[in-house]
Amino acid sequence: DVKFIVGPNRKVVYANRCILAARCEVFRAMLGSDPDREGRQKSAEPDIPLVLADVSPEVFSSILEFLYTNTCTLNSNSVSVMDIMGSAMEYGLLQLQKICEQYIAETLAVNTASGAMQIAVTYNQEELQARCTEFIELNTPEVFKTKGFHELSEEALEILLLSDKLNIDELDLISSIREWATVNAVVGSTSVAETAAKVVRHIRLGLLTPEELRQIEIDNEKDNLIPVLMISEAWKFHALRKSPTLSAATIPPKPRAGTRPRDD
């Protein structure tokens, strides 16, 4: 007795008002139903549909499946599962959220890890974030080549770059960050330098040899990805690192798990 118009293609979906109102407070408010009163208030008549333009019919069907049966059929299309999890949070369905979170964590793959990491950061899901971080640490080069990596938010990428366990060398990491910044600069209509301003501070230039640092300077002339001050500090480190006097400028950065050995 309630009609929904769902998604950009405006698919018509029918449901039972009493079930939705009994199982979900958000729908109860949306439908104007108060189970504590006799009778029903109707803010949504059957012939006046509720429009849900920001959710796909597939995701909405999964939400309804859970509300009707207390179960949800999930498959290998984890992008859809992540969308279901997002909608579960939006509708306050904690149990469905946990089901999705567990499924995503158990089925992480190279092509889905970045998307899972993003939703974990967006919705502050610490357990899922930890699982995603661990997976990405073990599969860093492969994950950083995916489209999902380019779609990571600045915040999510910063969290990853703080890790000592990333299985990638710093030169390759800089290349990946440059690709991420280039893609997002186009999307955000900003410069590469502006886009990467916060994430590049986690680059460990002191891990590079002077020859590699020289090449970084040359590459940097094209897009100013790395601030000149950071490069200057790296040169200062190389100039002073064999000095007998210990100072902050001579303490080498901690290698990552994937840092290649270099000659002194």
pLDDT at residue number 143: 98
pLDDT at residue number 38: 40
pTM of the model: 0.83
Q: Which residues of the chain have pLDDT under 50?
A: 35-44, 246
pLDDT at residue number 248: 56
pLDDT at residue number 42: 46
pLDDT at residue number 37: 43
Helices (H), the chain: 17-23, 25-31, 57-69, 78-90, 94-106, 113-122, 126-138, 140-143, 147-150, 154-161, 170-188, 192-195, 210-223, 228-240
pLDDT tens-digit series, residues 23-46: 999 988 888 755 444 444 444 455
Distance CA 149, CA 157 (A): 8
pLDDT at residue number 40: 41
